[in-house]
Structure 1
Amino acid sequence: MTPSKTSDRTAVAGQWPAGVLAAKPGKVGVLLVNLGTPDGTDYWPMRRYLAEFLSDRRVIEWPRAVWYPILYGIVLSTRPKKSGALYDKIWNRAQNESPLRTFTRAQGEKLARTLEANGVHVEWAMRYGNPSIESVLSGMLAKGCERIVMFPLYPQYSATTTATVNDKFFEALSKLRAMPTARIVPPYYDEPVYIDALARSIETHLAGLDFEPEVVLASYHGIPQSYVQRGDPYPAQCEETTRLLREHLGWDDKKLIVTYQSRFGPEEWLQPYTDKTVEKLAREGVKSIAAFNPGFVVDCLETLEEIAGEAAEIFHQAGGTNFTHIPCLNDSPEGMAVIEALVRRELSGWA
């Protein structure tokens, strides 16, 4: 009787069929994923981007019968022009793209050079807009990646960010007959390498100023209070990041405070609101403040326009004198050290 293929597979090493012995393990890949960006600042690129973003059930949890008439009847008629004007203020004209895409690409390219010696293939993608998760994943599989570490670039977990990236990644995998093996980099809001990088970035920036901020704001992107009531752990992780930063910097809760920005719609969002806090501090006589965004891996519309631009203007108009925005970690040595450390940990045993 001829041995079956199944019995061949139970043979000890040295007795495997020649074809099996010759098989080479597939490549290992790393996929960095950020939130997303429009392809341009004009009406139609902005509308496409906003339609995809605001149609996500993880982002807007209202019933579709209630939300879609508002989205397609009002929001997508007016918001693309307004948002496009804001993006135009911070647009990277040299490369005709948003800073978020510029910095995310730079992170991917630098990580690729770092991991090249380990034989690891690195790519980057966006949850909304281009390059899409599905298109980049398809390219990675075509290049032979059979094991993939996917990195949602959000330090603090929220269903509106980390979870929707995971959803889209596994949705792309669900369409495949032969899936790669996947690992997901977990939230890293309390990782020492992340806290240390933030602290050093803050200290370096403040050392270059000709004034000392009386108050420093850790401004995180907000989410509706209702999402937290339904179990989203996001604010607790933001608070823990800030607590660890206070401990690392030797500051108290009056020097370093938590605020939340970017609210949208009629619901009550996480408080205190950044814009209201900035105005309140100035009216109370605080003359010098600094703000940074520990929930954003790279600078983008919400950090460059909303904080460095709008919040600074609010502070000055309310009587404040000195306002400084501390850049995100971006592709700085400190920022890349965080990404590399977390990726290498997840690559353990693979590369």
Structure 2
Amino acid sequence: MVATPEKLEHNHEQSSGQQRVAVLLMGYGEVESYEDFANYNEQALHLLTAKFAPVPAWIYPPLARILALFDRHEWGHQHNDFISPHNAIFEKQRAGIEKNLQQKWGDRVQVFKAFNFCAPFLPHQVLAEIKNQGFDKLLIYPLLVVDSIFTSGIAIEQVNKALSQLTDGSEHWVKGLRYIPSFYNEAAYIDMMVHLVEEKIASDLAAAYLPAEIGIVLMNHGCPHKAKGFTSGITESQALYDLIRDKLINRYPLISIGWLNHDTPLIEWTQPNVEQAAKNLIQLGAKAVMFMPIGFATENHETLLDVHHIIHALEKKHSQVNYVQMPCVNDHPDFLAMAAQWANPHIADLLSEEATTVNPQLAVAHHHHH
């Protein structure tokens, strides 16, 4: 593929005023109708599981239907017809980030949401709308999982597929593109996690427990150790944990990483998982255990149902321990402001740079000959 900068006839100020940027905020999305479980699971198997599990493609449809039965049992029977709040929270995040961005950029910037697995907000559907509205500059911004090096890879996969389908003629409609892969090492996010932990301890635990009796499990998105060569996000997630732990551990010695893994056979997952991390802290003398999601920005069934199951299992064996479950940052005003701030320099680049014309018909395969 060959990219050629266009020579603009008008001055920089006029160009910047005419340019617009579409921010594509991307999350998983979660089902709001139990009838959608099988379809959701099949898409997730294709996009996620296929990258680290040796599962033949033909088994995805029946496996998705079997998993749907377990999902319906868990959400419907075990949790009183639970419906995930993820999609509603994600819309609040989209609106809040857009509000912050438009305070700086006005209507030159608009934020669109896309879900990896949920129509009518699948990436190809949303990108078609972005194109129809006349945008030609795109900022891809995965938000749900903080360590999004691996999980946002599926966002790029879906965006690339959609952009290929939306190509017509000899000139691609996208004239500029940027990408925010992760915010695991952003100082503002690190400080916010620390503040939320300290604030909760001060309000709920400090009066009854010594600092050394308060265990803190900092929960990350679980990662497979082997993912067919893909970078799985372990390095970034570990760095996120280390940065937060280092700001807390001198006051609160009992801190552990806890990975929210998927119980998949034949796959080696990151350890310790959340339950084992809590058990370790209890063994070391924790009389209260706080579960703080640091690797998820948006509430979802993992941070809600999975953590609920873990706490329930721990209560059976360690009923004397006080368990505190913390929420994700969700639509916290401070988080929405910082998330917009992270996008600002990329938007500035897109608005100021010359448009780039890509001709897909010029793409040729080059073969190496000995």
TM-score tier, shorter chain, comes to 0.7 to 0.9
Structure 2, gaps ≥5 residues long: 1-5, 352-370
- How far apart are residue 247 of structure 1 and its match? 2.5
In the alignment, structure 1 residue 139 sits paired with structure 2 residue 129: yes
Map of 1:17 onto structure 2: none
> Does 202-211 or 234-243 show the bigger shift?
202-211
User: So what's the TM-score if we normalise by structure 2?
Assistant: 0.79
How far is the alpha carbon of 1:285 from its aligned partner?
5.1
Structure 2 CA distance for partners of 1:252 and 1:203, relative to 1, 3 Å: closer
Whichever residue aligns with residue 84 of structure 1, its letter is R
How far apart are the structure 2 equivalents of 1:126 and 1:341?
A: 22
Amino acid at match of 2:179: I
Q: 1:282 Cα deviation (Å)? A: 4.0
- Per the TM alignment, residue 92 of structure 1 is displaced from its structure 2 partner at its CA by 9.6
2:74 aligned with 1:82, yes or no?
no
Pair 1:129-2:118 in alignment: yes
Distance 2:335 2:313 in 1: 29
Report SS of the residue matched to 2:136: strand
Label 1:58 to 1:50 Cα distance change in 2 as closer, same or farther (>3 A): closer
Amino acid at match of 1:102: A
Kindly tell me: are residues 284 and 349 of structure 1, through their superposed partners in 2, closer, same or farther at Cα, counting changes over 3 Å? Answer: closer
Looking at structure 1, the residues matched to 256 and 178 of structure 2 have their Cα atoms a distance apart, in angstroms, of 34
Aligned to 1:169: 159
Cα 1:13–1:77, aligned 2, differ >3 Å: closer, same or farther? closer
Distance, in Å, in 1 between the alignment partners of 2:294 and 2:287 is 23
Is 1:100–2:91 an aligned residue pair? no
Distance 1:135 1:47, change over 3 A: same
Q: Which residue of 1 aligns with 2:332?
A: 332
Q: How does 1:218-297 map to 2 (within 5 A)?
A: 218-227=218-227, 230=229, 232=231, 234-251=233-250, 254-266=253-265, 267-282=267-282, 286-297=286-297
For this pair of structures, how many residues does the alignment match? 326
User: Could you say which structure has the greater relative contact order, defined with CA pairs below 8 angstroms and 6 or more residues apart?
Assistant: 2
> Are the equivalent residues in 2 in contact too, given 1:217–1:258 (CA < 8 A)?
yes
Q: 1:144 aligns to what SS in structure 2?
A: coil
Q: Which residue of 2 aligns with 1:348?
A: 348
Q: How many angstroms apart in 2 are the aligned matches of 1:55 and 1:193? A: 35
1:38: how far off?
Answer: 1.5
Question: Which of residues 189, 196, 202 is equivalent to 2:197?
Answer: 202
Q: CA contact under 8 A between 1:287 and 1:319: conserved in structure 2? A: no
What is residue 32 of structure 2 aligned with on the other side?
39
CA offset at residue 306 of structure 1? 0.9
User: Matched residue of 2:330: which SS?
Assistant: coil
Q: CA deviation at 1:233?
A: 5.2
Deviation at 1:27, TM superposition (A): 2.2
Aligned to 1:312: 311
Over the matched positions of the two proteins, sequence identity in percent amounts to 18
Question: Does the 8 Å contact 2:245/2:255 carry over to 1?
Answer: yes
In the other structure, the counterpart of 2:355 is none
Deviation, 1:68, is 3.4
Question: Do 1:90 and 1:98's aligned partners in 2 also have CA atoms closer than 8 Å?
Answer: no
CA contact (8 A) 2:292 2:327 kept: yes
Say whether residues 1:188 and 2:183 are aligned partners.
yes
